[in-house]
Amino acid sequence: MQPQILFPHTAIYTPNLEASLKFYRAFFGVEPKKIKPGYAKFELENPKWNFTLNEVRAQVPNTQQVLSHLGFQVATTEEVKAIQARLSAQGIKAILEETGTTCCYAVQDKFWVKSPEGIDWEVFTVHSDADVFRDGASGENAMCCAHGLESMPVQLSIPILNQ
């Protein structure tokens, strides 16, 4: 059985979380599901999308990278492992595997791959909420959610279907 993707996932960097929250609340027309120090998550239903903001105060001007990473959220660790096995069989090896890690105020199992364009992709499941941003942190702006910062700028376009 093919694992079901619960939400496509996009994480972006922002130098000003409050300004970005104001914009994305208006743009998406919904409130974030989670707001923590230096972090916010929207879970949209139309389109289904897990969209996060990661505050990085030292961000360079907008001409530089703002995309943190892309990914897919699935329901179980077994589905994470099934996708990883499928990719591995096709020659796409994980660059990082994490089990029971705390990231983005959630306890997760995940793995990472890097596309030929240099985009970090994450496949993950969430077990529970956490009180800290990442393992060993108390909400600082250190990034747990990206394997590296070498990714190239990407323009995203996602159609929104009216119901």
pLDDT band, very low/low/confident/very high, at 143 (cuts 50, 70, 90): very low
135 in a structural domain: no
Of the pLDDT bands very low, low, confident and very high (cuts 50, 70, 90), residue 157 is: very low
20 lies in some domain:
yes
- How many domains does the chain fold into? 1
Return the higher-pLDDT residue of 142 and 56. 56
| pLDDT tens by residue, 51-102 | 999 988 764 555 456 888 888 899 999 999 999 998 998 888 999 999 999 9
Q: Is residue 10 part of a domain?
A: yes
In this structure, is residue 111 part of a structural domain? Answer: yes
CATH number where 23 lies: 3.10.180.10
Q: What is the pLDDT of residues 29-50, one digit of tens each?
A: 899 999 999 999 999 998 899 9
> Is 26 part of any domain?
yes
Q: In the predicted model, what is the mean pLDDT of residues 94-117?
A: 89
At residue 103, φ and ψ (nearest 5 deg) are -150, 135
- The Cβ of residue 103 has, within 10 Å, a number of other Cβ atoms equal to 22
pLDDT value of residue 65: 64
- Average model confidence (pLDDT) across the chain: 81
pLDDT recorded at residue 78? 96
Q: Tell me whether residue 146 is in a domain.
A: no
Domain membership of residue 147 (yes or no) is no
Strand ranges of the sheet holding 96-103, from the earlier edge strand across to the other edge: 34-36, 39-45, 48-55, 5-14, 67-74, 120-129, 106-114, 96-103
Which pTM was predicted?
A: 0.68
Domain-embedded: residue 13 = yes
Q: What is the DSSP letter of 52?
A: E
Q: What does the DSSP 8-state code read for residue 151?
A: P
| CA dist 94 → 1, 13, 141 (Å) | 22, 23, 25
What are the backbone angles phi and psi of residue 89, rounded to the nearest 5°? Answer: -65, -25
The whole domain housing 62 covers 5-129
φ, ψ for residue 119, nearest 5 deg? -85, 130
Q: Is the pLDDT of residue 12 over 70?
A: yes
